[in-house]
Every structure is written in C-alpha cells, then in structure tokens.
Amino acid sequence: MRQSLLVVGLIMGCNGDTKDTGAGVAMELLTRLESAGPYSVGYRVTEIGYTSSEGARMLRLAVWYPSNDRDGTHPRYNGLIESQVALLNAELAGGEGFPVHVFSHGHQAYAEASGFFMEHLASHGFVVVAPDHTGNTTFDGAERATEIYALRSEDLGACLDALDGADSDLSFLAGRLETTAGVTASGHSFGGYTLHNLAGASFDRDLIARCLDGSDTSSFCSTMDEARANTFEAGLADSRFEAFVSMAPGDFRLYGTAGLAMVDRPILHMTGALDPQTGGDAEDIWSALAGGMHRRVDIDGGGHQTFTDFSGVLETFDGLIDADVGARIVNVYGLGWVLHQRGDLDASALFDGSLQVDDAVTLAQ
C-alpha cells in the first residue's frame, strides 16, 4: 500500500471547507511544500557491493529516512559540512510503504552534496539513498574515463537492488519500503546526465564511432572499446524509476536532440541563469525535452551550486541568489514534482504557472 501518511492533511479541500478560494488552496500547497514534513530525519552510512559491467564494484551509501526521534547527534557529511537537521542512526518511524528516492551527485562531489534537499524529502516520508560514485568523488581527482559514464547509472540501479535484498546494514528497512512502483530520482550536474540515461535517452552512435576510430579524444571516448560501446548502444534505461529531478545537467553532446527525445518519463529540468558550468547545455537539453510531460524551472541568480550545500561557498560571484532562497525553491519544486508524479498530491498549480513561488523563478512547459 502506498504510504498514505505522505498526504495526510495535504491541501485540495481535505478539511472539507468548500469556502476555500483558489488562492487559499494554492497558498496551502506552497506552505506544505516549503515547510519541513512531520518527521525528524534519520541518517546512516553503509556500503553496498554489486557486479557492474566493469566487474565487482563497491559503493559508500548514504541513507536518509523518516524518524520520530527528536534528539541525537548531527552528522558531519563526509567530514565536510555538519547537518543541522539529520540525526545519526536514529530509529526508523513506524509504518510501511515508505516511498524511495535515489540521488546522484555531480562530478568530484559526494553522496551528501545536496543534503538539504535529501533531508527535506525524508522529513516528508521518503527513504532517500545516495551512493558515492566510486572513482568520481571529491577525493578521486578530475579525470573521467569512459567507464564512469555507464557505471554511474548502474550504481543507481544497484541501490534499488540493495534495498530489495537482505544486506544486514539495510535490514532496518526490510519490508518497510515501496520499491516496485513510484521510485523517483534526482541528480546534480553529472548526476543530471546520469538520470537522463535511466529515463531512456539514447547515445549518439556517430559519436561512439568517432570514439572507436580515435577521431574524438574527449573523456567520454578516453577508454572506449567495443565492449563499452555495446553497453552505451544498448542503453542504460531502468524502468523502475518513474520520475526525475535533473539539476544543472550537462553532456548534451553525448545524445544530441534525437537521443534526448527518447526520454520516456517525466523530468523536472532545473537550471540556474548564472550557472557558469553548463553553458549552452541547459538550453539544448530543454529544447530536446520541451513540452509534454517535462517542465523547466530556471532560477534567476542561480549558480551551479545553488542545488547543493555549497551555494555561496564554492560560488561567490555578483548577483548570486541567496543560498537559503535557492534551497527553498529547490525544495518546493523538487518535492512537489516527485509527489505530483507519484500521484500523492495534485501540484498542478505549481507546474502550470498559476502558483508563483518566487520572483526569481521562470517556469517553462
């Protein structure tokens, strides 16, 4: 059974008051999405192993989950940023059918890089898992070889496999999750690219051919061989994921317009107007996705790190949106999107433009 407590008290006339105006209902929706949910947030770290297309692979795994504990130790994420919300090794709240969300960090980042958003989801009843993409984290250096472009997507699938399995470190979640339907995912930067694979994007075969003949020497092509080419040509889609929040993604050239047009599940494409890293990719990706089931949220003053805990730390240029304002926008639209796509909440007003969340937001359909 889908976790009904996600929507207890959620708007849309649940109090039976037919006098509510449309504006009043919209404000209830906004208040619900921007506020912390009814739970405190538990947090644990473990490891999982699986057999990838490259052989045996180990991943450090961060897990956030709903709890009723109110006191405890706040973790320092990967030894860098101390959470003010999460409680280390807290007890899982009672109930079952908790929805699952998976997060993919950016290039040279780590599992908890967007901790504020993961905590927000967990407070609203989600169990969130996020792997360190081994070989592509903060401590691994800047080089990217061909294989990481496939392994990242395989990593996210392995997270779902681990939740369905009997791993002792995840046994506290056994029988408590909804993993057969309604699984959602988010990703930042290279993590956004990772989601596009899972959503059904197909790789540019001409590019793969140039990799093999040596005429393209980009990082995507750096260690390409026939076996890896076959992996990319077969695609990396995973039908268990139903909806996605892609934040500041790049790598349009790996697909082209035709390849991204193959995406067959809804993506919320979130971008920052001042993002210096994605360049024209943000526009090219949206042009390929525009219309139908997808939506775009562009943040005026948003940078590349607006979607992470490092906003205002790694980026400090003029005109940058305040980190707390940016986080609020991400939380509202990100949570609203996954609840709406799961069918847990009618957030139409949020995505048809009738509800204005912040003057910094430009919404495209």
Q: What angle do CA 32, 95, 171 make, to 5 degrees?
A: 115
Quote the number of domains for the chain: 1
Asked whether the CA dihedral 197, 199, 204, 208 is positive or negative, the reply is positive
Q: What is the pLDDT of residue 8?
A: 32
CA 100 to CA 122: how far, in whole Å?
A: 10
| Nearest in space to 92 (alpha carbons), one of 63, 72, 67 | 67
Alpha carbon 44 to its chain centroid, in Å, reads 18
Residue 171 CB-density burial (10 A; 0-12 exposed, 13-18 middle, 19+ buried) = exposed
Which residues are CB-neighbours of 38 under 8 A, at least 6 positions away? 5, 8, 123, 124, 125
Q: What is the pTM of this model?
A: 0.93
List Cα–Cα distances, 141 to 13, 94, 144, 250, in angstroms. Answer: 52, 41, 9, 19
- Give the domain CATH number at 260: 3.40.50.1820
| Nearest in space to 100 (alpha carbons), one of 240, 202, 225 | 240
| Residues forming a β-bridge with 186 | 103, 245
CA 314 to CA 345: how far, in whole Å?
A: 35
The two tokens of residue 241 are 């994921």
Maximum Cα interatomic distance, the chain, rounded to a whole number of Å: 68
DSSP 329: H
Residue 12 CB-density burial (10 A; 0-12 exposed, 13-18 middle, 19+ buried) = middle
Below-70 pLDDT ranges, the chain: 1-22, 166
Q: What is the pLDDT of residue 26?
A: 86
| Residues forming a β-bridge with 101 | 128, 184
| Nearest in space to 127 (alpha carbons), one of 244, 34, 39 | 39
CA 296 to CA 20: how far, in whole Å?
A: 29
Residue 313, number of CB atoms within 10 A of its CB: 12
CA 176 to CA 174: how far, in whole Å?
A: 5
Domain that holds residue 329: 4-364
The two tokens of residue 355 are 């509800």
Strands 267-272, 295-299: pairing kind: parallel
| Nearest in space to 326 (alpha carbons), one of 349, 350, 299, 304 | 299
Q: What is the pLDDT of residue 11?
A: 31
Which residues are CB-neighbours of 328 under 8 A, at least 6 positions away? 34, 358
